[in-house]
Amino acid sequence: MPLRTADFDYALPPDRIAQHPAEPRDAARLLVLRRDHDALEHRVVRDLPELLAPGDLLVVNDTRVRRARLRGTLADTGGAAELLLLELVDGGAWLALGRPHRRLRHGRVIDLDGATARIADRGPDGTLLVVLDPPDAYRTRGEMPLPPYIHERPADPERYQTVYARDEGSAAAPTAGLHFTPELLSRLRSAGVETAACTLHVGLDTFRPVTEDDPEQHRMHSEWYELPEATAAAVTAARARGGRVVAVGTTVVRVLEAAGGLASGAGRTRLYIRPGYRFRAVDGLLTNFHLPRTTLLMLVSAFAGRERVLEAYAEAVRESYRFYSFGDAMLIL
């Protein structure tokens, strides 16, 4: 029987949603699922050098989150309005989400305290096309775009960035990477585990739930990615020496699988991974616990099996793991 979107649902008590990150970063708990073993292991992220092997390759996403959330007032009525900038498109306009959506019609202007945002168009998928004046207003007026289920803003905005974030362009953090510290990366290198980087700028589909009953009907938005030549060469070398390629996050899985793990270059991907997908480039996955009915949970289910993943999630709930962006992690080998 074909899978339905409801097959990727699960119950989560609200108090399991992490409101702040672990301190230090690598103190987060780590649930280890081995595809050739039934038992789960309960560890912490700083145990990664013991869980990986010399010759393995960790691939991270070095995207940097922009200050993409803008709060202001409608210029004509004074009513509150909010935008989430997703990406810059042709002509200097921004693809964005906004609320209250019904009031954000073509031509309306949002006052951003000395800057403005004009609604240039509305898409059928709920997105907006927004023109900022000045064009870089988000740098001084924008806030870190924490997910709506996080109600406590961290004192340091850099806690919603990875320690290796480099290339600004994301509307959300690649959260599996939030657990790494410079010291942990150094210990991994000392243990013979190599690290390489790629880039995927996180956009709408990384955090949007699937609303169709049939997941086959869901259509992904494209996201920009780059697989550097050095990283493609590192993947090839790891495979040649018998090492595993371990993706840090679902965004890295999408880059490596879109590129076949071997072909360097840049482009856009709509790759939609769900059960039945045959993986070509990734042998292991470090990932956070994801929201129900999302393409992220479908990707993880494709990698480790839907029933095993949902069983692991149920175990994580019983053991009081912390979920979502600032939550704990899972390692699938």
Q: What does the DSSP 8-state code read for residue 52?
A: S
pLDDT of residue 261: 63
| The pLDDT of residue 207 | 63
pTM listed for this prediction:
0.95
Determine contact, residues 330/288, Cβ cutoff 8 Å.
yes
Domains (ranges, CATH) in the chain? 5-65+153-332 (3.40.1780.10), 69-141 (2.40.10.240)
**Cα→Cα distances 223→22, 29, 81, 134, 269, Å:** 29, 30, 26, 25, 5
Per-residue model confidence as pLDDT tens digits over 203-240: 876 667 899 999 999 988 889 999 999 999 999 999 99
> In this structure, are residues 272 and 295 in contact, taking their beta carbons and an 8 Å threshold?
yes
Average pLDDT, the chain: 95
Averaged pLDDT in 10-residue chunks for the chain of 333 residues = 94 96 97 92 98 98 97 96 92 91 93 96 89 95 93 91 96 97 98 98 80 94 94 95 98 94 87 96 97 96 98 98 98 97
pLDDT in the model for residue 1: 79
**What's the pLDDT score for residue 91?**
78
The gap from C-alpha 253 to its chain's centroid, in whole angstroms, comes to: 11
Other C-beta atoms lying within 10 Å of the C-beta of residue 214? 11
55-88 pLDDT tens trace: 999 999 999 999 999 999 999 999 999 999 999 9
pLDDT value, residue 282: 97
